[in-house]
Structure 1
């Protein structure tokens, strides 16, 4: 037997390249919290931040959407309404709550809370779809939430706003979990690339519309570093991770790609220390280890 062939039938080089792409996508996506913190130093708010992020990522997603519109089958009226709902819940509401919460909590805690999305999927499935949760899954949930509590109690020393920030980011994770559950059937029919590009275009309209509704147009004029950071946020932390994750899933499968994504919270913790000066404490390391252990158990299931 050729040792260069992995259990999935891939050559070792192909598997490692897929794994590398998955890790890179996870790190880039996690970096959006770092970029958001840097943007907040220029005294812009979450409404302005998310509008710039979506404006800079729109050209790519709009181009993909037009390409898929020409090559794919026409959408039914019900599909159009579903895409509208998914775009508002999955990429507008989820992202907006996330960036709001980042104003009050550390990037390490934010990333750990968002990493609980699979547990929210499980809990929503159990509550509304009446799916059974096994003892092993309950153990995985308990392990993950113990890790979050550990980091939360540590960060609580920073003030009462930590509670508000954690609640907002938890709402973000719950909204994205709902998006994942609701999009499952449509992904199979339309394909992930088509669905994501359509949903992102819907989200952009919502984010930019919100900006012009709540903020004066003069706020579009910002210092040059704001544009540079927003371009980074839109392309490197939004567009690139979406496509990298899709490529990784195609090459090495969703299970392996999701496990590779566990590098995200760890990378955010150390990038936060390096770029933002946020301390890395034993509490944070212990909490991160518990969350990763719980998600790993869940992903194995």
Structure 2
């Protein structure tokens, strides 16, 4: 039984890391879309959700047909709130912020959310913060802070730099609310059904926003190059990682997943260097090294964490 539990935990860590790596491509695709097409944040977000929609519809129908558990009215409301916070508001804030800051800096600011998630779990849900989790958080955030200091000296000349930082900070807050709630709901509702329903509510929020604020520019969505970015964002940076992270969370818990996904800044910085020609400098390397140490620390002894 102990070996089976260890295997399940190890599988959960691997699934969560893979999901985090795929999610880290989002900033790269968004920055490339802004560079190469005439598009606003809401247009790009609409395309991301539009091409994701069929997969979540199929997943939702399948999960519902294979579950005898009926959701309560309260659970439906909570699912709607999670969708609005997790993949509508947080994505909108993130896409707006990416217009003004580098992909590497975006990912570093965004990864304040594990701290917020752990604090929500600790103080609101009364989850015990374990020593290994605390040590991993300290290491990862020292690393992110070091890298952030180097990034801020490069980008501070941008007139909208601090607006971009503020928007991504809002993204981190809203996403941490989603992540904390997800850790409690996935074991009850099931990873597939939860992911599908949450994303459907998020899609409804995005489409409603677009129809109210910018429906007159719907033809901008038909740019051929933009459609390619929309499909890629949907498949690589949304559908696959959303199912992977929620499955991993079901196996190892939201606190562990929040810390494991700190690998995201490392991945984004490397990708941004090769695809966006953003510089890599010593403080980034030093900071990301500490992030990696923190990730390995959280997974080193899964049976005691």
TM-score (norm 1): 0.82
Matched, 1:62 2:57: yes
Q: CA deviation at 1:294?
A: 4.4
- Distance change in 2, residues 1:167/1:148 (3 Å): farther
Q: Distance in 1 between matches of 2:134 and 2:220?
A: 47
2:190 — aligned with what?
A: 191
CA shift digits 1:197-249 (9 cap, x unpaired): 00100100111111121112434443211101110000111111223345666
What's the RMSD between the two structures over aligned residues?
A: 3.3
Residue 103 of structure 1 pairs with residue 99 of structure 2: yes
Unaligned runs of 5+ in 2: none
How far off is 1:106 after superposition? 1.6
2:141 to 142, 145, 154: 145
Q: Classify the secondary structure of the residue corresponding to 1:52.
A: helix
The yes-or-no answer on 1:76 pairing with 2:72 is yes
Q: Return the alpha-carbon distance in structure 2 between the equivalents of residues 256 and 123 of structure 1.
A: 13
Deviates more, 1:130-139 or 1:166-175: 130-139
Classify the secondary structure of the residue corresponding to 1:145. Answer: helix
- State how many pairs are aligned: 293
Specify whether residues 202 and 220 from structure 1 end up closer, same or farther in structure 2 by C-alpha distance, changes over 3 A only. farther
1:88 Cα deviation from its structure 2 partner: 0.6
Distance 1:257 1:123 in 2: 14
Give, in whole Å, the separation in 2 of the partners of 1:15 and 1:88. Answer: 30
Partner of 2:272: 272
Question: Which is further off, 169-178 or 289-298?
Answer: 289-298
The normalised TM-score by structure 2 is 0.81
Equivalent-residue separation in structure 2 for 1:296 and 1:117 (angstroms): 19
User: Distance in 1 between the 2:293 and 2:162 partners?
Assistant: 24
Check conservation: 2:20, 2:261, Cα contact below 8 A. yes
